Amino acid sequence: MQAGKRLDPFDIILQFKRRKNGTAYLSANVDVKATAEDIKTSGKSPNITSYARIRNEYLDDPDYIFLILSLKHKVYGERDAATGMTNGIMEVVSQAIYDLKYISSPDISYNSALGTGQLQIRDIHYVTIEKRNTWEFIQLLDAKFIKSKGQEAWLRLARKHAWIKEADNR
């Protein structure tokens, strides 16, 4: 297990040995989202990752795994009689984990406000799963981007990131 740094697309990387005696590993990038049980809007539309960043990851490795760990918590405070200090205690009351590639289309939203836009989950506590392959997932992401910013904006971004090959017009 490895912790992520600021601006990494993940909080934790998990690695699993693929073969009993081999050296091949399977990595899973995990984004942790903690939400408060006692705040009604907690878990609504959290930012998950950048559209361009996650699209590039899946293009580079179609077997890329990006998991979202959702932790719902309660926070308590207890006063230490000896020091007079309040100790905060966070109790995890529920958890769920989702593979981003399989989150249903209605549950994934695109927010164009930051950079190339952020993928968001409408409600991290209520997610439906849809099986799809990597190509279908990339098409889903592109459709959400194009619906928000338009085809020309997508073409500019695609040229910038070399997602498309265009014929030379000489």
DSSP letter for 4, please. Answer: P
Place 134 in a pLDDT band, splitting at 50, 70 and 90.
very high
Cα angle 108, 112, 115 (rounded to 5 degrees) comes to 115
The stretch 119-131 carries a mean pLDDT of 91
The count of other CB atoms within 10 Å of the CB of residue 96 is 14
Per-domain boundaries in the chain: 2-160
Least trusted range by pLDDT, from 2-16, 82-96, 112-126: 2-16
Return the pLDDT at 116.
Answer: 82
For the cut 70, the answer to whether the pLDDT of residue 24 exceeds it is yes
User: How much is the pLDDT for 93?
Assistant: 85
Residue 1: its pLDDT value, please?
Answer: 54
Cα 143 to Cα 8: distance, rounded to the nearest angstrom: 25
CATH topology of domain 2-160: ECO RV Endonuclease; Chain A (3.40.600)
For position 5, what pLDDT does the model report?
55
- pLDDT value for 105: 96
Pairing of strands 25-36, 66-79: parallel
pLDDT at 54 over 70: yes
Per DSSP, the three-state class of 94 is strand
| pLDDT of 4 strictly over 60 | no
Amino acid at 71: L
pTM for this structure? 0.78
> Cβ atoms within 10 A of the Cβ of 9, count?
15
CA–CA dist 84, 90 (Å, integer): 19
The pLDDT of residue 103 is above 90: yes
* pLDDT 10s digits, 77-94: 888 889 888 888 888 888
Q: Is there a contact between 73 and 93 (Cβ–Cβ < 8 Å)?
A: yes
Q: 16: number of CA atoms within 13 Å, CB side? A: 5
76 has pLDDT over 60: yes
DSSP, collapsed to helix, strand or coil, labels residue 119 as strand
Average pLDDT over residues 90-107: 91
Q: Give the single-character DSSP code of 45.
A: S
